[in-house]
Amino acid sequence: MMKEVGTHAIKTERLLLRRFVESDIKPYYDNYGCDQAVQEYIAWFDCKTLDDTEDFVHEHLKKYDDPYFFGWVIEYEGEVIGSIGCFNVNPFLSCCEIGYSIGSRWWNKGIVSEGAKAVVDYMFKEVGVHRIYASYTKENVASGRVMEKIGMKYEGTAIDGIVLEDGYHDLVYYARIASRNWK
């Protein structure tokens, strides 16, 4: 049974995962939204323009009253560098999908793994989710490594499972069950 707790701040060794605020719009765009390397892999709401970023942040602000909405901005060394969230939340099945992305200047530092582990831990322990799943385009192997580092297991590949600007891509699925060896 999932608890209706919503998005609360999570502190890790190096990160602060917190709710977006209005003043995050410009730094989020500067450090993440206009980063071409990031845009190559984004399959959800993109932030390619400042207006897009404003819409993205405002959507978060509107949804924070929903006890089944989980969306965090990632703050590292005082800078807004990306976001992480759980969506497709299904209280009946007690499951959700996790997604994450940060600006390319912060890639390969273990930041996403640290943040994702903290969010998965929060979702299992505080929210009571039974199953968390994630997917990535097979070209985005770094995202798959994050999934493995946080204890997710490969479930399968959907051939041409997603369409991006450059066409169809295979979508690789991973998942983690709360009752199976979660630490």
pLDDT tens, position by position, 133-179: 999 999 999 999 999 999 999 999 999 999 888 899 999 999 999 98
pLDDT (tens digit per residue) in 113-142: 999 999 999 999 999 999 999 999 999 999
Domain membership of residue 27 (yes or no) is: yes
Domain count, the chain: 1
- Banded pLDDT at 45 (limits 50, 70, 90): low
Tokens read off for 7: 């998005």
For the full predicted model, state whether its pTM sits above 0.75: yes
Q: Quote the distance between the C-alpha of residue 26 and its chain's center.
A: 20
Domain membership of residue 14 (yes or no) is: yes
Q: What is the CATH number of the domain that holds 128?
A: 3.40.630.30
pLDDT (tens digit per residue) in 54-106: 999 999 999 999 999 999 999 999 999 999 999 999 999 999 999 999 999 99
Assess contact for 22 and 72: CB atoms under 8 A.
Answer: no
Domain membership of residue 111 (yes or no) is: yes
Domain membership of residue 90 (yes or no) is: yes
Give me the amino acid identity at 175.
Answer: A
Print the domain residue range for 47.
Answer: 10-134
Tokens read off for 116: 């994702």
User: Which is it for strands 153-164 and 167-177: parallel, antiparallel or unpaired?
Assistant: antiparallel
